[in-house]
């Protein structure tokens, strides 16, 4: 059975703090790992990671994949209240079937 | 920016009724998906569709479910005889070769 474990499940931080979100996975036929941000409805695409050790950055967000140890990290620096959301980790395996974790719920307070 | 669009945004239906959820994937995308998220639970894969046929489906996607691409732009999910446990947010998604999967805003289905 494919497993995706995200930690911490929820956290509360103050604006300006740095957040590190973890995702470990066990999937067969791994192809890539995707991170999404889910606010009210749709998961919004953040990153797709295919290679180990290569950091991807987008503004204050960055992410990296370790295919040997089977985990990924999503970092958010200088957090803002607009970063409050559930962050979903989704390894992509088989025929582009995403296996979602439960998510990391982040609450940023002013 | 191109996006996946879904209709309706919310539908309430009686148990046993048929429901059709509609999606317009991003125009140059070739692979289409349906996922669902029951309230408070994980997003779950239902089905993937490529080249006018189902390429993979999950154990959730039983005989009550079907998908169709009736024309060049729409992609539909039909639930033949809805059950209470079909109440969920249904997300349509699409992608091109080798790229990320983009999700629509979802259709919230409530079965009463």
- Span B77-111, pLDDT tens digits: 999 999 999 999 999 999 987 778 999 999 999 99
Q: To the nearest whole angstrom, how far is the Cα of A13 from the nearest Cα of chain B?
A: 22
* Cβ contact A36–B91 (<8 Å): no
Q: Do A97 and B103 touch (CB under 8 A)?
A: no
Share of chain B above pLDDT 70, in %: 99
Rounded to the nearest angstrom, the minimum Cα separation between A23 and chain B is: 14
Q: What is the set of domains in chain B, with CATH numbers?
A: 5-111 (2.60.40.10)
A10-33 burial: b if 16+ Cβ within 10 Å, else e: eeebeeeeebebebbbebeebebb
Question: What is the Cα Rg of chain B in Å?
Answer: 13
Q: Is residue B65 within 8 angstroms of chain A, CB to CB?
A: no
Q: Is the pLDDT of residue A95 over 80?
A: no
**Two tokens, residue B69:** 């691409």
Q: Which residue, among B101, B102, B105, B106, would best test binding to A if mutated, counting the most A CBs under 10 Å from its CB? A: B101
User: Which residues of B are less than 8 Å from A43 in CB distance?
Assistant: 43, 91, 103
Q: Which of A23-37, B12-26, B78-92 has the lowest mean pLDDT?
A: A23-37
Mutant choice from A41, A58, A87 vs B, greatest count of B C-beta within 10 A? A41
CATH fourth-level superfamily of A3-109: Immunoglobulins (2.60.40.10)
What number is the average pLDDT over the span A12-18?
98
Short-list A107, A104, A105, A106, CA closest to A6: A104
Partner-chain contact B48 A95, CB within 8 Å: yes
Site of tokens 């998906």: B33
Task: Using the CB atoms, write b or e for B84-96: b if 16+ within 10 Å.
Answer: eebbbbbbbbbbe
- C-alpha span between A81 and A87 (Å, rounded): 14
pLDDT computed for residue B99 by the predictor: 76
Predicted pLDDT of residue A2: 67
Instruction: Locate A84 and state its tokens.
Output: 């409050």
């Amino acid at each position: 059975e494919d497993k995706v474990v995200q930690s911490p499940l929820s956290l509360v931080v103050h604006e300006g703090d740095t957040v590190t979100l973890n995702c470990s996975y066990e999937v067969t036929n791994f192809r890539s790992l995707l991170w999404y941000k889910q606010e009210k409805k749709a998961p919004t695409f953040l990153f797709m990671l295919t290679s180990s050790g290569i950091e991807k950055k987008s503004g204050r967000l960055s992410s990296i994949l370790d295919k040997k140890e089977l985990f990924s990290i999503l970092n958010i620096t200088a957090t803002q209240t607009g970063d409050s959301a559930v962050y979903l980790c989704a390894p992509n395996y088989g025929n582009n079937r995403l296996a979602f974790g439960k998510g990391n719920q982040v609450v940023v307070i002013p | 920016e191109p996006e996946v669009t879904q209709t309706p945004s919310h539908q309430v239906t009686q148990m046993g009724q048929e429901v059709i959820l509609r999606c317009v994937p991003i125009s140059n995308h070739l692979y289409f998906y349906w996922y669902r998220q029951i309230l408070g639970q994980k997003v779950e894969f239902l089905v993937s569709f490529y080249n006018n046929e189902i390429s993979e489906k999950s154990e959730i996607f039983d005989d009550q479910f079907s998908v169709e691409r009736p024309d060049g732009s729409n992609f539909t999910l039909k639930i033949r005889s809805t059950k209470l446990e079909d109440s969920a947010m249904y997300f349509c998604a699409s992608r091109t070769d080798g790229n990320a999967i983009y999700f629509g805003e979802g259709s919230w289905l409530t079965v009463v």
